[in-house]
Structure 1
Amino acid sequence: MSLDRAYLDHNATSPVRPEVSAAVARALALPGNPSSVHAEGRAARAALEEARERLGRLVGAAPARVVFTSGGTEAANAVLSGALRRRGMPAPTRLLIGATEHPCVTTGHRFPAEATETLPVLASGLLDLAALEARLAALRDAVVLVSVHAANNETGVVQPLAEIVALARAHGRVLVHSDAVQAVGKVPLDFSALGLDALTLSGHKFAAPKGVGALVLREDVGLDAAFVRGGGQEGRLRCGTENLPGLVGMGAAAEIARLGRDADALRLAALRDAAEQGVRARAPDAVVFGCTAPRLPNTLSFAVPGLDAPTALIAFDLAGVAVSSGSACSSGRVARSPVLAAMGVSPALAAGALRVSLGWNTGESDIARFLDAFERVVATLYRRRREAA
């Protein structure tokens, strides 16, 4: 594959930073197991705990509350297994899920169908807080777990977590989990200040290696059973020898993201806005999804009426531009987005949805290449319209 390409699919996975690769290489040279008591094991343990501290600093959590996993999906599945509970409180018996959640939440939980409800979102993609409050009031005798992501992977819409947590606290026996996979490293996110009970994340979304992630639990919140059994690692919750090189890499990526997040957000937002303006200039009938709500600075989701997403994706790829039609978690399939359906987008328009997501190595030349390819794509579409008229 040619290196002369514009990679604009960071929400699917962000390429590993060179500094992170170097940290991984150093960790690969450590011979010890973090659970061993000899000098080599202690060195490995020190590297592991430094990674935990770095990740804790990034999300505003005490390192002791960070449990390493193989990624965001495993972490979310563990939290939504029914084993999450606050001290002195029974495990939840009802689960409320936002309508635009990732499949690791919508299909990864273990609550029975009759105990699970989907909360609607507004046309903007924001959770309907009035609907949430009504359901919490109606379920006042139950222990409820609410799961709402921090930011949507397709549209970039950022949810009002502080308001959601405040509603939960006003109704007593309610736990709040947030899938923060897309938000971590891109926007400020303070687990402790928000008052969340659980947060889950994945390293490869912020330029760490694939295959590592974490769940974060509030001090008085825990799981009443291990979700991977067979040892004493990770507080006896996620047993098995830790992926030390990957986790060290995630720690390095977390520190880089923490130190450079605000400046990077400004840079990416400017590039995202330039891409959006370019799309609107070349296709005046383009519809940008989530543009009336707070969005991640790196994400642009849009559709042009009549433009078919699979055809467009092939055209972009041939032009050396990597974009997507939404979530990367559907085995390479291009299907109608349940996120856009929940937002009330028509099936015809949703069929053409495209996502452009930027990252640490995105520059002006990448946006220029994308817009050049987009201009050719829409020119073909408009020509066909004229010929059909």
Structure 2
Amino acid sequence: MGRIALRAGRSNIGNPSKMVMQNSKIVAINSVNQQRNYASPSQVNQMATPVDVKPEARAGRGSMQKVGGKDAVADILESVPRGSTANRPIYLDAQSTTPVDPRVLDAMMPFFTNQYGNPHSRTHAYGWESEAAVEEAREHVAKLIGADAKEIIFTSGATESNNMSLKGVARFYKQKKKHIITTQTEHKCVLDSARKLQDEGFEVTYLPVQTNGLIRMEDLEAALRPDTSVVSIMAVNNEIGVVQPIAEIGHLLKTKGAQLAKEGGLSGKPLFHTDGAQAAGKIELDVDKMGIDLMSLSSHKIYGPKGIGACYVRRRPRVRMDPIISGGGQERGLRSGTLAPPLVVGFGEAARLAYQEREYDYQHVSALAQRLRDRILAEIECVLVNGDPTGYPGCTNLSFQYVEGESLLMALKDICLSSGSACTSASLEPSYVLRALGLDDENAHSSLRFGIGRFTTEEEIDYVSEKIIKVVTRLRELSPLWEMVQDGIDLKTIEWSG
């Protein structure tokens, strides 16, 4: 019969005569009307899952609000539209992870079964075929960022890549260079790596950002020192989507940075590292044109599998670093350990598709983000758009003023949203990224991040917009603060009793 592709949900792709297994029978799926030949839009009544809040549920202060003896959140859930037949919530959290593209899964499957060789076994055919697949994937990842395949080091993900970039470079140059520069809005793994290096005796400068999330180039220039070893600045922020001036930063380090080092009797410019996990496949990247020396990448941010990432490490001029993992000397000796061919191949295919479809994806995401913002801002007043308006549109961050944050999220249980980074979601503290922009705790707590991706549909955006409008309206009707604002009272002039 040949190979049968198994699919679930909206993942049915391929030829019009694609076959799937369903209820122990083989049925044909007509894909003539499927968009881009791999995704079909959801129907509105199939999108959102009705979710009831149990009386004993607790999620901070929001779930404890009572109005006339009734749970306020439960009251809101009853008053807004809900889907009736769906099995899964709507997913708008693409910055935390993306679904594996079915085409990526197709590429991975042989390496879970019959092509299972160790890519480092070079004495037989099983190893050779796995090695060839790994090297092909390396070329696809390199092409995505304008690098050479030999400059791609496979890791477990961007967190490991960020760690090895900062710690590896700092420790290698520690005898002569003890200074590091980063920003206050970096991913937590970069900030924690910087703090670890501080404990080891390094000096770290944390650059502030403007209210739009962008750094000031003057601040970076002023922070440069002859003994600056590495500058780490994220390309696209994972919470607000702001795109930093990467090319300008690279040029500054080549000129002013190199000049300062020379004047201090030291060789080499400060190395430029960027966390590109949220940028790869979304905006154009070219490590040579942008002057980037190290870049961290993650597969599951570009519709590939989790557990695999990469670190771009420039070869000419050569970037030197101490490896943080020792072993058999794989990956140029910078990251020892046996590679996982299925994950590497999946990452490579995801990178190939991201390179091929970047412009289409960007236009698709931009149109949906604009549709979401226009609808919400037209119907709801006192909404803050966080971050630079020219940032990556697939990461839209909005603060709904005078709305209690926990109540807002509790009332949106059939929509997968985030109020910040997935890596810090367990904390009850407001987002440090939003606070760095100047937002107070109240506005930071009432923020939502909308992660729009390749498979998001107009129907989903319309449903989410309508739901948020009704939920925010209802919550404000229950809020005494909103009533005071409507009466023209400036809340900043009120002295609240403790």
TM-score calculated relative to the size of structure 2: 0.74
1:28 is matched with 112
1:165 is matched by which residue type in structure 2? Answer: G
Q: Say if 2:322 is the partner of 1:236.
A: no
Q: Say if 2:451 is the partner of 1:357.
A: yes
CA deviation string 1:243-290 (max 9, x = no partner):
211111010100011000011101110100111111212212100011
Give 2:381's match in structure 1, choosing from 280, 284, 294.
284
2:208 is matched by which residue type in structure 1? Answer: P
Aligned-pair CA distance for 1:291: 3.8
2:162 is matched by which residue type in structure 1? Answer: A
Question: Structure 2: where are the runs of 5+ without partners?
Answer: 1-48, 50-85, 259-268, 485-498
Structure 1 residues 221 and 312: CA distance shift in structure 2, 3 A: farther
1:18 is matched with 102
Q: Say if 2:429 is the partner of 1:308.
A: no
Structure 1 residues 84 and 47: CA distance shift in structure 2, 3 A: farther
Distance 1:210 1:335 in 2: 27
Q: Say if 2:148 is the partner of 1:66.
A: no
Contact preservation (8 Å) 1:100, 1:338:
yes
Aligned-pair CA distance for 1:365: 0.9
Contact preservation (8 Å) 1:59, 1:191:
yes
Distance 2:87 2:343 in 1: 25
2:204 is matched with 116
1:193 is matched with 289
2:424 is matched with 330
1:158 is matched with 243
Alignment of 1:176-187 (within 5 A): 176-187=272-283
Structure 1 residues 13 and 330: CA distance shift in structure 2, 3 A: same
1:132 is matched with 220
Give 1:95's match in structure 2, choosing from 168, 171, 180.
180
Q: Say if 2:471 is the partner of 1:383.
A: no
1:47 is matched with 133
Deviates more, 1:333-342 or 1:68-77: 333-342
| Percent identity for Structure 1 against Structure 2 | 35
CA deviation string 1:56-104 (max 9, x = no partner):
0111110000000000000000011143699x99774211111110001
2:169 is matched by which residue type in structure 1? Answer: A
Deviates more, 1:340-349 or 1:90-99: 90-99
Count of equivalent residues: 382
2:308 is matched by which residue type in structure 1? Answer: V
2:488 is matched with none
Contact preservation (8 Å) 1:84, 1:91:
no
1:175 is matched by which residue type in structure 2? Answer: L
2:52 is matched with none
1:288 is matched by which residue type in structure 2? Answer: V
Aligned-pair CA distance for 1:27: 1.8
CA deviation string 1:282-314 (max 9, x = no partner):
21210001144x311311101111222222222
2:433 is matched with 339
1:147 is matched with 232
SS at match of 1:257: helix
SS at match of 1:194: coil
1:13 is matched by which residue type in structure 2? Answer: T
2:103 is matched by which residue type in structure 1? Answer: E
CA deviation string 1:324-358 (max 9, x = no partner):
10100025334311111111112221111110011
Contact preservation (8 Å) 2:209, 2:437:
yes
Distance 1:90 1:201 in 2: 29
Distance 1:315 1:249 in 2: 36
Aligned-pair CA distance for 1:152: 0.4
Which structure has the higher relative contact order (CA within 8 Å, separation 6+)? 1
Structure 1 residues 246 and 92: CA distance shift in structure 2, 3 A: farther
Q: Look at both structures and tell me which one has the larger radius of gyration over its CA atoms.
A: 2
Structure 1 residues 91 and 13: CA distance shift in structure 2, 3 A: farther
Aligned-pair CA distance for 1:143: 3.3
Give 2:190's match in structure 1, choosing from 91, 105, 113.
105
CA RMSD in angstroms, aligned pairs only: 2.0
Structure 1 residues 272 and 152: CA distance shift in structure 2, 3 A: same
Distance 1:231 1:331 in 2: 36
CA deviation string 1:32-52 (max 9, x = no partner):
100112100000000111110
Question: Structure 1: where are the runs of 5+ without partners?
Answer: none
SS at match of 1:125: coil
Give 1:8's match in structure 2, choosing from 92, 111, 116.
92
Alignment of 1:251-270 (within 5 A): 251-270=348-367
